Amino acid sequence: MSAPREGRDGTSQVVPRRGDETARQAMATMYDQSEQWAHITSTLITPEVAADLSSFRSSSPNFKIALWDPGTNGVRYLKDLVYNLGLQLTDRQRARLRRIRHRQVGDPITVRCHGELLCMDYLQALYELDCLDHVAGLPGGRVLEIGAGYGRTCHALMSNHDLAGYTIIDLPNTLELSRAYLKAVLEPQQYARITFLTNEQALTLPEQMRFDLCININSFGEMPATTVTNYLRLIAQRCEYFYTKNQTGKYMDKRLDGHAQGDEVVAKALSSGLLRDILDIYDSGAVEASSQKYVDAMRPGQEWTCVVDSWARPWSFYWQALYHRDLSAGEPVRMPHP
């Protein structure tokens, strides 16, 4: 209880007794903030934030309230993306993944879904294998890949199909990487079926050599336009099917990567490839509108029919298309962009 007393102005005032003050202090600490949040509220979520709402949701205050700072939590976001997509894999996709052995070579960033370690690279390989189901006669066939990176597409295909041969054309340094990686992950008899050619050695391909399928993933958007045109001419002459997964355009939003490699590198990226329109790559309407231009630009020749084309998940502005050199083929299958 508190005892009333008369104040100097004649009004009655309540004076807390010592026990009441102790109780009030105890109650004040019942729901006290942690030391962590004492620091956050003094440094990040300050009164100034409430006074100016113009950009708080894409800056430090909201990175503590609702989001992880993408600038410092990129691995966390990547893992969450792979984890969520990994939980959606079908039984068939999981069976294909299990057949791709030695996926841990190179220490990738992984999550575990349904008992299997999964990284972004081989998640994409599973999606690509789904599209390549449209290729007739792939088992026992010969594949040409232009720009194989470190070789994960070759690894996935040879682990799931009994191919007669696989030829990789790439720049010398990248070719050495894929040569070393594929030797580490494939069985010796599989590795023996691979032919490695530098981009200059591509000119030495025997005239009679033909391929059931040609693949290009990621790299046509990073080559000089004339180089892409020359490769498309090679594909038209030597291949029956052509699968491409590349960017539908370019982007300039500096918030996405900070242009960390400098303006000169950005300028080089903007000048490469056949498709150089600047897009809002997170506008599904803009990406889908650019997809027909992509399908037309990647067609090796007039006699080639697009069998299937669709958004290439998970990257927002990537598109995939599969072409067949057969005028009798039906209308292409157009998959809607979610």
- Give me the percent of the chain exceeding a pLDDT of 70: 89
Contact between 178 and 185 under an 8 Å Cβ cutoff? The reply is: no
Tens digit of pLDDT for each residue in 32-72?
A: 777 887 888 899 889 998 899 898 888 998 888 888 888 88
- Which residue matches tokens 């998640």? 123
- Which residue matches tokens 């057969």? 326
Average confidence score pLDDT of the chain: 89
Predicted pLDDT at 18: 60
pTM above 0.85, yes or no: no
* Cα–Cα distance measured from residue 263 to residue 146, given in angstroms and rounded to the nearest whole number: 28
Name the strand (E) or helix (H) holding 131: helix 120-132
Q: Where in the chain is the domain with CATH 3.40.50.150?
A: 118-334
Whole-number Cα distances in Å, 37 to 52, 67, 232, 299, 308: 21, 16, 58, 57, 53
Inform me whether the pLDDT recorded for 175 exceeds 50. yes
Spell out where 187-312 has E strands.
194-198, 211-217, 239-247, 305-311
Highest CATH level, class, for 118-334: alpha beta
* Cα–Cα distance measured from residue 114 to residue 86, given in angstroms and rounded to the nearest whole number: 8
Residues in the chain: 338
Inform me whether the pLDDT recorded for 1 exceeds 80. no
Q: 164: closest CA among 199, 202, 212, 124? A: 212
Tens digit of pLDDT for each residue in 294-328?
A: 999 999 999 999 999 999 999 999 999 999 997 45
